[in-house]
Structure 1
Amino acid sequence: MIDSSAKAAAPKVVLITGASSGIGEATARRLAAAGHHVVLGARRADRLHALAKEIETRAGDAFALDLDVTDPGSVRSFVAAAHERYGRVDVLVNNAGVMPLSRLDALRVDEWDRMIDVNLRGVLHGIAAVLPIMGAQREGHIVNISSVSGLRVDPTAAVYSATKYAVRALSEGLRQESRDLRVTVISPGLTRSELTESIGDRGVKGAVEGQMGIAIPATAIGDAILYAISQPAEVDVNELVVRPTAQG
């Protein structure tokens, strides 16, 4: 069990996308409590800045910036501002994601496009923005949030699973291309977050919400991320699957 009171031996500059709620929010609190400098990005600026203020009142260090991961320019600005403030970028947590599940024959094409834009292109935009900095540093760590839906496909999750399988494939390719960069994929199972709010199909939404009684807290994923980034530089934790014991 990780001691939540322990401070980081070597504080890192950690950029977190989708940090205004759910896994991103929990991760920001967890890493700040461990002594890391957290740079928070999301579209919901009011919640984001409130979180940064809360972290700072607890003696943590947080820097909040508006961010739209579907916009490459927004992502570049986010990373550049963090780099300018701290002089380095140690970790990027590509967490932003949406999950509007539906059957394919429902033809909710706009939702398919949104998942591809946020869940896949958003990850690519983050990687593209930090690679030059991490390359110059000759070190860095990219943590990509996938899902157990990137390990199996269920009805209504075909497109969502496709994006999460792609994140895992992309991460493995990135890992193999570098000997300085560490790459970690975190695949959460049912986790308490706001992801279900993006489901527009009411029948599917009700079915998913009916399973959430066994969901684990988002802090469990924050703990997994802290574990991965806390390993010695020569240790690369490539993949962690974290799900409820009761999940099939």
Structure 2
Amino acid sequence: MASTVLITGASQGIGKATSHLFASHGYNVVLAARQADRLETTAQELRATGHSATAIPTDVRQPDQVNLMVQKALDQYGSIDVLVNNAGIYISGPAEEFSLEDWHQAIDTNLWGYIHAIHALLPHFLARQAGTIVNVGSIGGIVPIPYLTPYSTSKFAVTGLTRSLHSELAPKGIHVCGIYPNIIKTNFLERAIFRGKNADDLRSRQNQVSQLVDTPVIEKADDVAKAVWNAVKHKRDEVVVGSANLSAVSNQLLPNLVQWVLRKTFQHKDS
């Protein structure tokens, strides 16, 4: 019987690329995201190539929706073998410019969304004494990044969640791994939150990230999808993706210099 993977944030970007890769390896794919039309388009693409795919529109910030999504997936496929937590939102600006609503947007999506999915699926994994949880994190969860404080806060929490769960669940037959990419060439800017000291500051932050995403050397969604697959296949604890390795090593060796560079890079009009 084919294995089944459940992927959140699956309608585009990393989630979509991961769904195609797992389907190519014979997995049934359960896709979850808020945008029902894009989600169904991805499912149709998979079904058109002969793969089993089910789209379940879900807002991972809502535990009731996540519980229902997991139950629907279990009803259809009988079991789930891999959970890929991927839904997320990018948020940038000076710390004092973020509203509490901005903070909740970041943490409710990037952290609580992961917790909701794990909480819903963990009893199933424990009953089977088998399963894999993949949390797609960020280099911003290993290296502190100024002017991305809500984002980095949520990603550091994901790193702690991942490492703690790995330690606890490994003896119970459940593999937990973290994926840590740098900024990725996807359309995440559609949902990103930017705040600034003024309109010029806000625009400069948006333009900076937009230009960075267009840089040819930036990794693509497929690169992260391959990292997820390798982590599952080879039971890796952590995978730092591509250029994020340089950021991680530099921060270990020269943390003060790296933080100075990051502050200058993201400071903009905040002086």
104-113 or 36-45: bigger deviation:
104-113
RMSD: 1.6
Cross-structure match for 1:208: 209
Query: Aligned partners of 1:192, 1:11: CA distance in 2, in Å?
Result: 31
Distance 1:182 1:243, change over 3 A: same
Distance 1:199 1:215, change over 3 A: farther
Which digits, 9 at most, give the CA deviation of each residue in 1:91-116, with x for residues without a partner? 10000000121110213332111001
1:195 maps onto 2:188 in alignment: yes
Partner letter of residue 207 of structure 1? Q
Partner letter of residue 226 of structure 1? W
- What are the equivalent positions in structure 2 for 1:1-248 lying under 5 Å apart? 11-178=2-169, 179=171, 180-197=173-190, 198-201=192-195, 202-212=203-213, 213=215, 214-231=217-234, 236-244=235-243
137-146 or 149-158: bigger deviation:
149-158
Query: Aligned partners of 1:230, 1:245: CA distance in 2, in Å?
Result: 21
**After TM superposition, which residue ranges in structure 1, 4 or more long, deviate above 6 angstroms?**
none
Which has the larger helix fraction? 2
Q: TM-score, normalised by structure 1?
A: 0.90
Question: Structure 1: 5+ residue runs without aligned partners?
Answer: 1-9
Distance 1:40 1:77, change over 3 A: same
Query: Aligned partners of 2:150, 2:193: CA distance in 1, in Å?
Result: 13
Query: Aligned partners of 1:224, 1:11: CA distance in 2, in Å?
Result: 21
Partner letter of residue 206 of structure 2? K
Which digits, 9 at most, give the CA deviation of each residue in 1:130-157, with x for residues without a partner? 1110011110000001101011122211
On the 8 A contact 1:15/1:92 being kept in 2, the answer is yes
Which digits, 9 at most, give the CA deviation of each residue in 1:183-240, with x for residues without a partner? 0100111211122231333332211122221321100111111112223xxxx31100
Larger radius of gyration: 2
Q: TM-score, normalised by structure 2?
A: 0.83
Offset at residue 246 of structure 1 (A) = 10
Partner letter of residue 114 of structure 1? Q
Offset at residue 49 of structure 1 (A) = 0.5
